[in-house]
Amino acid sequence: MKFYGYFRSSSAYRCRIAFNLKGVQTDFASVHLRREGGQQKHPDYRSINPQALVPAVKDGDFVLTQSLAIIEWLDEIHPHPPLLPSNVDERAWVRAFAQSIACDIHPLQNLRVLDYLKTELGQDQHAADLWCRRWIGDGLKACEALLERRPFKGPFANGDRPGLADICLIPQLFSADRFGVEISELKHLNAVRAACEELEAFAAAHPSRQPDSEA
């Protein structure tokens, strides 16, 4: 299976964690989001993902985009270990938590949004940083409150084993650090992060350990 990604992309980072948890090897194709005007915008990559976003996977003739769809597809074709709880309420809760990050926090910090703020709306880097800190900070505070009342015990955001909720949370915390968001008081998020950091599947997916890393 070919996996199109970029080391710093948090959506690609989600997929890497999922592949590692499943023990699935992929053939990595780097799509550099800044080089050559953004390789994601080149026609050859747009033929893979017309949205000009990473990640994407190609398995034989089948091409799939959108990290959450990729992760749930992977979970269906490689059911063990499962990435979603077996209880229907818990499964829905995990999806809601994951979507609060993937649909409501992450899109506001995306490269194309920040580029638009700077180039078309004339904002400087400081304004773009404030923008990111605001939306990531507010979003993660809501995640902390969601975790406080999660319908099961930890140590993971997903329950007693890592899954989709953790897969979305850990890359978002990496981005929070990158943009200078203060999260030290978010104790549930930090406890989940500590539990995930113990696992090689998460450590090996870190941007600094990718072949295209510039860290």
Ligand X SMILES: N[C@@H](CCC(=O)N[C@@H](CS)C(=O)NCC(=O)O)C(=O)O
Q: What is the contact surface with ligand X in residues (CB under 6 A)?
A: 9-11, 33, 38, 40, 53-55, 66-68, 102, 110-112
Q: Which is nearer to ligand X, 110 or 190 (CB)?
A: 110
Task: State how far the alpha carbon of 64 is from the alpha carbons of 50, 51, 183, 205, in Å.
Answer: 11, 12, 33, 20
Q: Of 103 and 145, which has the nearer Cβ to ligand X?
A: 103
The least distance separating ligand X from the CB of residue 12, rounded to whole angstroms, comes to 6
Of the candidates 70, 97, 77, the one whose C-alpha atom is nearest the C-alpha of residue 16 is 70
Cβ distance to ligand X smaller for residue 178 or 184: 178
In the complex, what is the shortest distance from the CB of residue 14 to ligand X, in angstroms, rounded to a whole number? 7
Beta bridge partners of 156: 159
Closest-approach residue to ligand X (CB):
112
Nearer of residues 33 and 147 to ligand X, judged by Cβ: 33
Rounded least distance, CB 67 to ligand X, Å: 4
Q: Give the span between the Cα atoms of 44 and 41, in whole angstroms.
A: 8
Per-residue tokens: 69: 């769809």
46 vs 209 by CB, closer to ligand X: 46
Question: From the CB of 50, what's the least distance to ligand X, in Å?
Answer: 12
- Helical packing angle, 111-119 and 125-148, nearest 10°: 140
Long-range contacts formed by 112-120: CB under 8 A, 24+ apart: none
Q: Which helix (H) or strand (E) holds 5?
A: strand 2-5
CB of 104 to ligand X, least distance (A): 11
